[in-house]
Amino acid sequence: MRMHLSIARLGQRGEGIAPGADGSIYVPYALPGDSILADVEGTRGRLIEIVAPSRERIAPFCVHFGACGGCAVQAFAPQPYADWKRSLLIGALRHAGLEPAVANLVDAHGQGRRRATFHARFDGGKLRVGFMRARAHELIDLDSCPILAPQMEGALAAAHAVAAALHAAAKPLDIAVTASLSGLDIDVKGHGPVSPVEMQALMKVAEAHDLARLSNDRLVVVARRAPIVKMGKAEVAPPPGAFLQATEAGEAALSAKVCEARAEARHIADLFAGIGTFSLRLAERASVHAVDNDEAALAALGKAARSTMGLRPITIDKRDLFRRPLGKEELKRFDAVLFDPPRAGAEAQARALAQSAVPLIVAVSCNPQSLARDAALLVAGGYRLQTVTPFDQFRHSPHLECVGIFRRESTEPRRPLLG
């Protein structure tokens, strides 16, 4: 049904929200203050025409905006955009019963994204490579993306070539491309084992596009050069598929906040340490115990630590912190703990930390909701959430990085930590 709608506010996914007869209607690419025409089905709307634009609407800079689902809010003016993004964190914390000081949004986009995962689909024999349309299964074929960093030049062309080399299987692929100091690093998921013929084709792609490394489901197909990323004083060679912060500016800003918060701490636990994003920087002034369940990531961290002059000791512990978090007794030897879990957060570890006497806890998160849940557990255990800072390294999207700083106020929980 085609309807005239007045957009009242922006939702958590960056969609315009309009009041309807039966509840809210969500319309991608619409902004607060817009008067629009939309095709509406249930609670979902598809933008047809902007009848009267919002005063906060600006011209998008990408020709694919409005079709590609990679960016949700390119047309939002900078200040209301920053206010909306900060409000996502404030709302999540408030929902958890917390109202700490929330800093202004830190722009951490820098030169752009240094990693991206492109999707490849084979529709009726036609190859498409790009990002998905917002809330749809349709793939938007891309030949460029202006939010990528200059180091990612050639990433889409290489992704197209990789997909073409694997066309015979006609399987949907996810092609993760990361820019390193020594060139592009690509890891393909979704294909399964490659045949000898496909192996040869992929090796030719790596040569033609001057890739540093090309892997299939984290198994190296060809390594022409070791991909290298800089972390503080250290140079790290990540394993295929390793997690890396999306932008260099984002990693630098998050790391600066973490290192500033740790003040005079001398013995630090870095939980969900990965390849050492924070461990290697923290070790410039403190001993670090790095814990993660990814053996290959820890091996890269350990190798970088051993080859970097001027670092304090870094000990390594392979451990599933979701099933076996560090407990109260183990935590006694640390005067600061950092945790940076996946999107699901670190509920089990947060419960254990809430029962500890660690003076300082720093939480890094890419999900305000899981951060708020974990923060509430720590506060219930006697910690004070001193401040939370939002970082915008996923510009034009609803994704947000956050850093929360907790200090021990009492040794007794304020209320039971229910399971």
135: left (phi over 0), alpha (psi -120 to 50) or beta: left
Q: What distance in Å separates the CA atoms of residue 210 and residue 193, rounded to the nearest whole number?
A: 23
Instruction: Indicate which residue of 68, 145, 259, 366 is catalytic.
Output: 366
Active site residue 402: no
Angle at 152 between CA 304 and CA 396, to 5 degrees: 105
Could you give the residue numbers annotated as active site? Answer: 366
